[in-house]
Amino acid sequence: MDGPPIREQPLFGGAIAAAIPQGWVDGSNLRQVPDHQELFLSSTTLSSLIFEINEFVAHEQAVTVSSTAQGAALLSSFPSSTLPSPAAEDVVAALYHVHDLCDETEGDTIEMVSPPEPVTLPRLTQQPVRAYAGSVRFRSLRKRRPGQPQPQAQGGMEVDQQAGANGVAGGPRSTYSCRFLVIRLPEQTTDICVYVNVPFDEYEERGDEAGLAAEEALATALLAKIVELFEVKDWGLFG
């Protein structure tokens, strides 16, 4: 695969190990990042990588994802979303986190690309852990990009003249893919979420299909490497 090598990276003061591409920069050196997040930014593109430590999504929270149009659409793409088993409940909890990135009041839309599938974390076997990976595609108003701590300037936005389903007027819109990994730690009542975001606009603006394909391939390889290397080195991080 062309692109920067992917290396192991300590997170949250060394309590967790994961991976980032060589040359990506720590977002906290450029902007304020919440304590429960780690943000890394490509130095050559608008792609980004976010790690988040979140509260464990319980059954009662998970089912609320169906209360909005976009959430219902996500669940319809996964036939087991009626929560007949703990595994299905985990999947819906993963979708809950992903759906939380989508602001329907701003006209954001979300499309399932790859439904959450269970993955094994080879370095995380001593604790009860369940992990799921998948991908979605977002379209949002130009002024913000879901999942990013702060919006970044982008060019070449496609103009959508239609109003969204919730009545929000159309306008310049941005599209980006999001590969996600949700790691469920029930004994720590914690969900760790990982998002690899690839904005399309910078490539579409210059008609660079090959560049977009290469960046998408990097995102896929990056998530796979995070699955391979993810490790909790200090469980005291979770209290």
Q: What is the pLDDT of residues 89-105, one digit of tens each?
A: 888 889 999 988 988 77
> How many domains is the chain partitioned into structurally?
1
The partner residues of 177 in beta bridges, in order of sequence, read 137, 198
Which residue spans within 92-161 are E strands per DSSP? 109-119, 130-141, 158-160
| 70 in a structural domain | yes
Tens digit of each residue's pLDDT (9 = 90 or more) over 36-60 = 999 999 999 999 999 999 999 987 7
| 1 in a structural domain | no
pLDDT tops 80 at residue 84: no
CA 78 – CA 45 distance, rounded (Å)? 32
pLDDT tops 60 at residue 160: no
118: domain CATH number?
3.40.1000.10
What residue numbers bound the domain in which 10 lies? 6-238
CA 48 – CA 28 distance, rounded (Å)? 13
Write out the two tokens for 152.
Answer: 């970044």
